[in-house]
Amino acid sequence: MSYLDDLQAAIAAHPDVADYRITLNERRGVSIGIKDNQVGNVYNPFTFSAVTSGSFLIQWRDGRLSRGSLDGSSLEQIGPILEVARQAAYEDPDAAVFLGPQRVTTVPLFSTETASLIDERPGDLLHVIELLQQQARRIGSTILSGSVGASISRRMVRTSRGLNLVEDTTSFGYSYYFDGILGDGFLSRAPVSLEEIEQQTQRTGAFFAALKRPGRSGMSGQLQLILHPNVAYQLVDFFILGNLQGSLVYHGQSAFSRAAFQEGQRVLREDLTLAVDPLVQMGPGSYAFTGEGVPAAPATYIGRGRLEQPILDLKYARKMGLPPSSPPSNAYTVNFFSQRHMPDWEEFLPQIDEAILVLSLLGLNTQERSSGMFSLTGPQALYIRDGAVIGHSKATFRGSFFEALRSEELQLIRFAGQHSPGLSMQAHVTLEQRDEV
């Protein structure tokens, strides 16, 4: 019997358990890091790991519920765990949803090449670190930090109603940071070539080099604001995806009301669509089923600017009388696009009269999500004039993200190597005064 078999048997054997759901993830991986130019030091050692983690939801015979976490040692302590869970039980009848057998759509998410990195060729990960070191020297970065890793995961969901789902996946990822100023990170299911990693770091390196030059300072007013895809996605995730969460919609804490969904209210410009697709073959964020056992399926949440459906788990799907939906697992599952032309950055740059390109962001977690209003800092930003990147400026900028996404001035821009688009909009921008030497 497997560890999950034993856990399930122990939970099912408890006389007070009426229903249950168990989610378990078994992960094996290898990683190596570099911190402040030191490879494999105490902060980023060469690590082989095997981790079991998960959770349970139990409905007791009196109707109350208990939730808890699981790990590789939970079976040894399952008696005390269930006893404490029983004492901490609470009333939440709408959350008591335990699925029976489901038909799921499976797509390939497992790479034998990634598996061989872990089991046969872990030393190959050092080639990525060596490449990052070479790229850092080439662009003049004196301090490099980053990491590279690979993992194999098995994700399982079982219920007392006969649901039994299993999904095997692999993951390969790397990240880097030059001089603590600028970096990036990428995920895939299969290892990517060193040539592809070199191309990506070269793109980051071009921005890094521009940040070494001085840009404009000491100005304030309306200005074209361009958000790099990494920054743009953070705002989309916080203000749009955040307000689509079913719990916030149901409790009236979202910018979008239940009535707005029923009416298909237009909240973005009519050419904009936001959708999630968790069934892309070998997609870095793809999955066949949610942690509750709901089969994954593509979902459009805002279509042609109009609200279509909120993001609903089983509890809030029941509360709102709607079917549950597939949430985004990461940026790779989110498709935010325009029916209008989306120029490449190389095509868009020569058309710019004056703008600021924001490459990093501070302060997003302090914003009021439902208002859509933002006042943020871009410590690493580039001043652009007459189609040329001049150099580094520290910018603060404010405005309404919702208004920007309804404006005719908004443009979505494609950047090479990035899944999400960048955004160009108007905002009030202040460029910090540069200290004179």
For 301-326, write each residue's pLDDT tens digit: 999 999 999 999 999 999 999 999 99
Residue the block writes with tokens 């079917």: 323
pTM over 0.85: yes
Question: Following CA atoms 350, 403, 249, 313 in sequence, which dihedral angle do they give, to the nearest 10 degrees?
Answer: -10
For 370-388, write each residue's pLDDT tens digit: 999 999 999 999 999 999 9
Where are the chain's structural domains?
Answer: 3-207, 208-235+341-431, 257-330
Q: Is the pLDDT of residue 114 over 80?
A: yes
Q: Report residue 269's pLDDT band, with 50, 70 and 90 as the boundaries.
A: very high
Cβ neighbours for 40, distance < 8 A, ≥ 6 positions apart = 32, 33, 34, 46
CA distance 108 to 278: 12
Q: What is the average pLDDT across 392-414?
A: 97
Tell me which of 3.30.2290.10, 1.10.730.10, 3.40.50.300, 3.30.70.270 is the CATH number of domain 3-207: 3.30.2290.10
| pLDDT value of residue 244 | 98
202: helix, strand or coil: helix
Beta 354-358 vs 334-338: how paired, if at all? unpaired
Q: Is the pLDDT of residue 225 over 50?
A: yes
Q: Is the pLDDT of residue 405 over 90?
A: yes
Q: Alpha helix locations (H) across 224-380?
A: 229-235, 246-250, 258-263, 314-320, 345-348
Beta 422-431 vs 306-307: how paired, if at all? unpaired
For 190-201, write each residue's pLDDT tens digit: 999 999 999 999
- How far is the CA of 139 from the CAs of 83, 204, 208, 272, 417, in angstroms? 59, 10, 8, 37, 19
232: helix, strand or coil: helix
For 410-423, write each residue's pLDDT tens digit: 999 999 999 999 99
Q: Maximum Cα–Cα distance for the chain, whole Å?
A: 76
Tell me how crowded residue 2 is: count the other CB atoms within 10 A of its CB. 11
| pLDDT value of residue 437 | 39
Beta 65-71 vs 144-159: how paired, if at all? unpaired
